[in-house]
Structure 1
Amino acid sequence: MSSPWVVGARPRTLPAAVVPVALGVAAAVGEPNPVWWRALLALVVSLALQVGVNYANDYSDGVKGTDDVRVGPVRLVASGLKPAGAVKRAAFVAFGVAAAAGAVLAATTTWWLVAVGAAAILAGWFYTGGPRPYGYIGLGEV
C-alpha cells in the first residue's frame, strides 16, 4: 500500500494540474527563445496548488464530518490515518511551495502573477474551508 500522504495527495487529480501547463508549453513551442525553466516552475506551482487543495479539502471535510460516511477514495482525517492538524499543515506546506515557486516565476515575468497565485491559494482553502465554503453551495466549479 502507498504512503497515506501519497494517497491523501490524490494522485488521480494531478493530470488536472499538468494539462494546463502542458498546453501552455505546447503553445510556446516554436516561439523564439523559450525559457523552459519557467515552464518547470509553472508545473511546480500547478502541482503544489492541486496537492494543497486536496489536503485542504481533506482537512476541512474531515473536521466538519462531511467525509464521515463516504464512498470513494480514503480521506486522511475522516479515516483516522492522519490527525487533522497534520493534514492542515501539509496543505499549508504545499501552498507554501506553490507560493515560493510562483514568486520566482512572478519575479522573472510579471508581478500580477502574485495576485493570481494569492487568489488561487485563497480559492483552494475556502472551497471547503472557512465559515462559508463555496464548494458546498454549488460554486465549486465557478
Structure 2
Amino acid sequence: MSQIKSILLAFRPKTLTAALVPCLAGTALVKAMGLSWDGAVLFYALAAAFLIQIGTNFVNDAVDFKKGADTEKRIGPQRITQAGILSAGKVMALGTVFFALAILCGIPLVIKGGPVIVAIGLASVAMGYAYTAGPFPLAYLGLGDLFVILFFGLLAVMGIVFLNTGTWLTEAFVLGLQIGLHATVLIAINNLRDRETDKLVNKKTLAVRGGVKFSRWEIATLCFAPFLLNLYWWFEGYKIAAVLSLFALPLAVKVTKNIFKTEPSAAYNKFLAQSAGLHLVFGILISIGFMIG
C-alpha cells in the first residue's frame, strides 16, 4: 500500500458522513421553513467540518498509538502510526495542519455569523484535539459519545441554521439531536469492538465503563431514538420528512440485530460501515423530505 493511499485511508472516509449530514440537513431545514439559504455558508461549513473531523482522526491515530491503545493486537482497521507508515509526531503534525485549514475555512463563517461562530469554531477545533489528547482526553474519560452528539449533531445543525437565519431555532435543536444520535452509533460500535484493548490502557470509554450489555442497549437507543423524534416533525407539519426518513428504519434494525447477535470482534468493522450508512441514508431522506415538503 502506497504511503499516500495509507494517509487517505487515515481520513477514515467511511465515517466522514458525520461531517456531511448535519450541513446538508440543516440547509434543507432552512429551505423547508421558507427562508433563504446561502450556498457559500454550506460550502465553507462543509469544508470546515470535514477538516475538523480529519484532524481529529489524525490526532486520535497518533495519541492512541503513543498510549498503547493501538497495537498489533488491534482488531479494527489498520492505523498509519500503528503500522509504522508515519511516526506519531508526523501524524500529529498532519492533524494540526487540518485544524489550521479548518480555522481558515471558518473565517467567512465568522464574518457572517459574528462572535458566537468564533466560539463554536474554536470550541470544535479544541475539542477535536482534546478528544484523545491533552490533560483531559474526552475519549479516555468516557465523554466521547457526548462530544459527538454535541459537535457533530446539535452545534453543527444549529450553527448552520443560525448562519442562514440569524436565529437559534427549536427545529434546529431537534434535527441536530437526531443527526447527532445517529453519528454517535459509529463511535459506540467502535468502542464496543475495542473494549478489551481499551481496558488494558485505561481508556475508559462507555463500553469499558458499562460493559457489553450496556453498550448494546446504548447502540439500540441511538439507532431508534431519531425515528421516535420524527413525531415532532409530524405534529409540526413536516409530514413528508417524518415519513420519508422512516425508510431508513430497516438499516437501524439490521445494525442493532448484528450488534446483539455478534460478540465484539473484527466483524464489527462491517457493522461500523453499516452504521455510517444508516446515518447517511436517514440524513439524506429527511433532507429530501424537507426540500420537497
How far the C-alpha of 1:28 sits from its partner, in A, is: 2.1
How far the C-alpha of 1:109 sits from its partner, in A, is: 2.2
The residue type paired with residue 84 of structure 1 is: A
DSSP 3-state at the match of 1:135: helix
Task: Output the CA distance in 2 between the equivalents of 1:71 and 1:135.
Answer: 18
1:127 lines up with 2:141 in the alignment? no
Selected match of 1:78 from 63, 70, 82: 82
Indicate conservation of the 8 Å contact 1:65/1:78, yes or no. no
Give the aligned length: 142
The residue aligned with 1:35 is 38
1:50 lines up with 2:53 in the alignment? yes
Question: What stretches of structure 2 of length at least 5 have no aligned partner?
Answer: 147-293
Computing the radius of gyration from Cα coordinates, the structure with the larger value is: 2
How far the C-alpha of 1:131 sits from its partner, in A, is: 2.9
How far the C-alpha of 1:33 sits from its partner, in A, is: 4.0
Indicate conservation of the 8 Å contact 1:28/1:34, yes or no. yes
How far the C-alpha of 1:83 sits from its partner, in A, is: 1.3
Selected match of 1:138 from 139, 142, 148: 142
Selected match of 2:106 from 85, 102, 108: 102
How far the C-alpha of 1:14 sits from its partner, in A, is: 0.3
DSSP 3-state at the match of 1:128: coil
DSSP 3-state at the match of 1:125: helix
Q: TM-score, normalised by structure 1?
A: 0.92
Indicate conservation of the 8 Å contact 1:8/1:54, yes or no. yes
How far the C-alpha of 1:118 sits from its partner, in A, is: 1.0
DSSP 3-state at the match of 1:77: coil
Task: State the identity as a percent.
Answer: 35
How far the C-alpha of 1:58 sits from its partner, in A, is: 0.3
Indicate conservation of the 8 Å contact 2:27/2:37, yes or no. no
> Between Structure 1 and Structure 2, which shows a larger proportion of helix residues?
2
Q: TM-score, normalised by structure 2?
A: 0.46
The residue aligned with 2:244 is none
Task: Output the CA distance in 1 between the equivalents of 2:141 and 2:112.
Answer: 38
Task: Output the CA distance in 2 between the equivalents of 1:134 and 1:34.
Answer: 34
Question: What stretches of structure 1 of length at least 5 have no aligned partner?
Answer: none
